[in-house]
Amino acid sequence: MASRSGVFSSSVGTKIVIGITGFALFLYLLIHIAGNLMVFFGPAFFNRYAYVLESNPLLPLVELGLLAVFLIHVYKTLRMFLSNQDARPKAYAVKRPAGNPSRKTFASSTMIVSGLWLLVFIVIHVKAFRYGTEYEWPAGGRDLYRQEMENLSNPLMVAFYILSMTVVGSHLFHGIASAVQSLGLNHPKWTPRVLLAGKIVAALIAVGFMIIAAWVYMNQPGTGRVHV
Amino acid sequence: MRLTLKIWRQAGPTVAGRLVEYIEDHVSPDMSFLEMLDVVNEGLIKKGEDAIAFDSDCREGICGMCSLVVNGVPHGPDRGTTVCQLHMRRFKDGDTITIEPWRAAAFPVVKDLVVDRGAFDRIIAAGGYVSFNCGGAPDGNAIPIPKDIADVAMDSAACIGCGACVAACKNASAHLFMSAKISQLALLPQGQPERYRRVTAMVAQADAEGFGSCSNEGECEAVCPKEIPISNIARMTREYVKAALTASK
Ligand code: FES
């Protein structure tokens, strides 16, 4: 009988941990994008929303939890990737995808690449927004609206963000469906629908974030660009 | 038909191998893939060369011995078909066909296209069995099993243990193989006594053998000659969680 600590390090347990943490990160992204959409309502609304969120005393705890989930996801996937490499030391001279009903896609074959990209992106992103220059907002809290405008005023930065959102979409395109399977959920009627929905949501999240970044760039205050 | 064959030749487990090219001029479209290799071997033997070693037994798709990766796909291009049931009419005159053995750390090459699949036997020995008392044959209908459950168990039991799932998986994972046996026995009353011990022991054995984990791509299902679905892998996960939660020690 495997010890309880060993349960999460077996090949099945690893999948479960990666699935749970991945799914939690996906749920976080849903909240994240919902919050970001507030930027369309202007600085007063956006900063007010941010202030309410940041004045919640539980926030540091939630942040720590999120960080832990993120780090576990990264650590477990890297460990799994490396041991999976060992499982096939000699590569095939010719290897082709087997086709239907396989779920193999470009996205599923590049999870480690998209994942590592996102790791770098998240470090840059969190540094710019969480630990960037702070401006006071008269009605309370930070002027996050101004911070976002400034962070996304450089076209190269905007391009990097938009590219990274494609990577997010790709990671989720396989990731959401994969988490469902990793958690052992399978229903003849519902699973195909859930998998399809996962792909649609992945695309929506990616496109949503891209629109936000592009909108912020095109609505820079005092640049003569359109301001709606 | 004239074919160019690139075949993996490796004299033994510890020596390096390589792809060797052979031209075969007289291939009939009616031959099976293995008969085609037999013809190649006859030619080699006539020339005094070492015949190509490959596994086969029943040659009718039921034993799971044949194990060739044909042009990058285990068991070749046909769905739900072992390579012994693949026929040369599936190829065109002038084609080049690359033939390799299953590739996995847990399936070391014995010679040429033959690999040692003893790891699968050890996984089965770890838990893929049921215990019952000897004696007279029990009445087949004494234990009622709902038809839908019996059907799913039967579909899982169709696994012939060929290892194509491992060969196709980018992680060389044995999850589909294990999950088929675990599902079959977990669904049936006869499998209940060892139910949770079984899943824990089989997963531990597969990990110890050096098979990889599962990325949910489902290449295994697509190459499986018995078309065993990855819903079995989801069931194995549920069994594994239940076993962890109900472990007595
Ligand atoms: S030789 Fe028996 S299944 Fe192919």
Contact B105 A88 (CB under 8 A): yes
Asked if B190 has any chain A CB less than 8 Å from its own CB, the reply is no
What is residue B141's predicted lDDT score, i.e. its pLDDT?
84
B143 and B95 in a common domain: no
B244 and B121 in a common domain: yes
Helix B231-246 with B175-187: angle, nearest 10 deg? 70
The domain boundary residue, chosen from B110, B133, B159: B110
Contact B237 A1 (CB under 8 A): no
What is residue B249's predicted lDDT score, i.e. its pLDDT?
53
Q: Which atom of ligand 1 is nearest to the CA of B57?
A: 1
What is residue A132's predicted lDDT score, i.e. its pLDDT?
84
Name the residue among B69, B105, B170 with its Cβ closest to that of A86: B105
Q: What are the chain B neighbours of A183 within 8 Å (beta carbons)?
A: 237
What is residue A227's predicted lDDT score, i.e. its pLDDT?
44
B128 and B85 in a common domain: no
Could you list the beta-strand ranges (E) of chain A: none
Domain range enclosing B131: 117-248
| Low-confidence spans in chain B with pLDDT less than 50 | none
What is residue A1's predicted lDDT score, i.e. its pLDDT?
39
What is residue A5's predicted lDDT score, i.e. its pLDDT?
53
B93 and B159 in a common domain: no
Is the predicted ipTM greater than 0.95, yes or no?
no
B125 and B188 in a common domain: yes
CATH of the domain at B55: 3.10.20.30
Q: What are the chain B neighbours of A77 within 8 Å (beta carbons)?
A: none
pLDDT tens digit at each of 228 positions of chain A: 344 457 889 999 999 999 999 999 999 999 999 999 999 999 999 999 999 998 999 999 999 999 999 999 999 999 999 999 999 999 999 999 999 999 999 999 999 999 999 999 999 999 998 888 888 898 888 898 999 999 999 999 999 999 999 999 999 999 999 999 999 999 889 999 999 999 999 999 999 999 999 999 998 886 545 444
B188 and B226 in a common domain: yes
* Ligand 1 centroid distance, CA of B77 (Å): 16
User: Is the pTM here over 0.80, yes or no?
Assistant: yes
Alpha helices in chain B (DSSP H): 33-46, 118-127, 147-157, 164-168, 175-187, 195-209, 219-223, 231-246
Q: Report in angstroms the alpha-carbon separations of A160 from A114, A132, A191.
A: 14, 18, 34
Asked if B71 has any chain A CB less than 8 Å from its own CB, the reply is yes
* Ligand 1 centroid distance, CA of B102 (Å): 15
Name the residue among A4, A90, A186 with its Cβ closest to that of B103: A90
Atom 3 of ligand 1, residue of closest alpha carbon: B61
Q: Name the domain count of chain B.
A: 2
Q: Which atom of ligand 1 is nearest to the CA of B61?
A: 3
What is residue B248's predicted lDDT score, i.e. its pLDDT?
62
B101 and B121 in a common domain: no
- Smallest Cα–Cα separation from B243: which of B184, B196, B195, B187? B196
